[in-house]
């Protein structure tokens, strides 16, 4: 795995493909563990982060939830346009996914308000974004993972594409990003390039990012349902080879094996997706996604179980009814 070399730079933001990087990571985990390929897993999950970053990550045990901060970056690591928290629960054998819109308005340690996906342009970017996500959610973060867009395309191709019913004609060209999307409406098998285009497209959605995110969630469910099958076990070596250059994580083989039993029991129904509650607003001429703190607190409590003390009380009350 490559160690991070994050540059402070400017440029257009890439789109928020949160659910699909999850699918890559989880699919690879499932294929590796079901096939017993723990040696291959070591190849993938051997990357370590700097000591300073690791200090910011919370500790957990084999019986506790694992919360992974998952970032999707462009090839130059310009912006964190994919920001999500993936929570693996070995007790309930489920996966809760919280999507954080890239334009979420947050207050940085300097006191300045800015979009959360600008964090990679700040000094100490990893530490900054870990701190911001923990502040927004009130959740501990145990692991950190980065994936880039090329990894998404490669994985889709290795898995033989994904059959998907594209809801609308999608045609868009952006030479600045070298982004060219030309996919027609209808049921078809999408290769990596077209799948990326479909999940990044937002040009004609009336509600912009929200429309795109809804499609991404639907695509994820299809990907998860189609590829969590025994016949894809043989793809594990190729998947690991492809991801070796496109994933940076501290999720080591030692930590990964804690969740072996859980991963064996997963199905497409194991995955639950959530959006950070809030609304789009224009502030001082800039467009932001302003999250609702109270609704976020309630959602984190009921769906993710934090704070743990309050979640335990809530569960006891429900059992007593």
Catalogue all structural domains in the chain, each as residue range(s) with its CATH number. 18-161+224-320 (3.30.420.590)
Tell me which residue of 98, 96, 72, 95 sits closest to 84, measured CA to CA: 98
d(CA 199, CA 192): 11
DSSP state of 228: S
Burial bucket for residue 273 (CB in 10 Å: 0-12, 13-18, 19+): buried
The tokens for 254 are: 């030692």
Check residues 214 and 286 and name the one with the higher pLDDT: 286
| The pLDDT of residue 293 | 97
Helix (H) / strand (E) containing 68: strand 66-73
Q: Residue 225: what pLDDT? A: 80
Residue by residue, DSSP assigns 239-298 as: HHHHHHTTEEE---HHHHGGGHHHHHT--GGGEEEEE--EEEEEETTEEEEEE-HHHHHH
Q: How far apart are CA 199 and CA 24, in angstroms?
A: 14
Q: What is the pLDDT of residue 113?
A: 96
Alpha-carbon distance of 5 to 276, in angstroms, equals: 29
pLDDT score of 1 more than 70: no
Tell me: pLDDT of 137 over 80.
Answer: yes
Q: How far is residue 186's CA from residue 168's CA, in Å, rounded to a whole number?
A: 8
Quick count: other Cβ atoms within 10 Å of Cβ 247? Answer: 23
**What number is the average pLDDT over the span 144-163?**
86
Band the pLDDT of 237: cuts 50, 70, 90: confident
Instruction: Determine the 3-state secondary structure of 111 from DSSP.
Output: coil
Matching residue, tokens 């003390």: 309
Q: How many residues appear in the chain?
A: 321
pLDDT value at residue 44 = 40
Query: Which stretch, 47-61, 73-87, 92-106, 207-221, has highest mean pLDDT?
Result: 92-106
Average pLDDT, the chain: 76
Q: Comparing C-alpha atoms, which of 248, 6, 257, 273 is closest to residue 151?
A: 248
Confidence at 281, pLDDT banded by 50, 70, 90: very high
Tell me what pLDDT residue 215 has. 87
Assess whether the previous peptide bond of 307 is cis (omega < 30° from 0): yes
Q: At which residue do the structure tokens 């809760």 appear?
A: 96
- Higher pLDDT: 183 or 4? It is 183
Judge contact between 57 and 67, C-beta under 8 A: no
> Which runs of E-coded beta strand occur in 91-142?
94-99, 105-107, 113-115
């Amino acid at each position: 795995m490559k160690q991070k070399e994050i540059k402070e730079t400017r440029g257009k933001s890439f789109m928020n493909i949160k659910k699909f990087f999850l699918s890559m990571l989880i699919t690879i985990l499932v294929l590796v563990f079901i096939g017993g390929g723990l040696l291959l897993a070591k190849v993938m999950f051997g990357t370590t982060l700097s000591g300073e970053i690791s200090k910011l990550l919370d500790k957990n045990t084999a019986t506790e939830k694992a919360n992974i901060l998952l970032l999707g970056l462009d090839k130059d690591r310009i912006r964190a346009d994919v920001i999500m928290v993936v929570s693996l629960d070995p007790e309930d054998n489920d996966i809760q996914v919280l999507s954080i819109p890239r334009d979420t308005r947050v207050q940085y340690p300097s006191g300045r308000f800015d979009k959360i996906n600008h964090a990679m342009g700040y000094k100490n970017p990893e530490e900054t974004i870990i701190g911001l996500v923990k502040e927004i959610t009130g959740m501990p973060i145990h692991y950190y993972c980065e994936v880039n867009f090329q990894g998404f395309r490669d994985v889709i191709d290795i898995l033989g594409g994904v059959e998907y019913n594209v809801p609308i004609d999608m045609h868009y060209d952006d030479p600045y990003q070298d982004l060219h999307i030309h996919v027609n409406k209808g049921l078809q098998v999408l290769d990596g390039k077209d799948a990326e285009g479909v999940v990044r497209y937002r040009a004609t959605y009336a509600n912009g990012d929200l429309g795109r995110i809804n499609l991404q969630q639907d695509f994820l469910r299809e990907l998860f349902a189609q590829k969590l099958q025994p016949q894809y076990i043989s793809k594990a070596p190729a998947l690991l080879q492809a991801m070796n250059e496109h994933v940076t994580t501290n999720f080591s083989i030692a930590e990964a094996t804690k969740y072996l039993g859980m991963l064996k029991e997963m199905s497409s129904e194991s995955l639950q997706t959530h959006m950070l509650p809030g609304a789009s607003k224009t502030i001082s001429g800039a467009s932001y996604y302003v999250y609702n703190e109270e609704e976020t607190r309630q959602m984190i409590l009921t769906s993710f179980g934090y704070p743990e003390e309050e979640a335990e009380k809530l569960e006891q009350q429900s059992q007593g009814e």
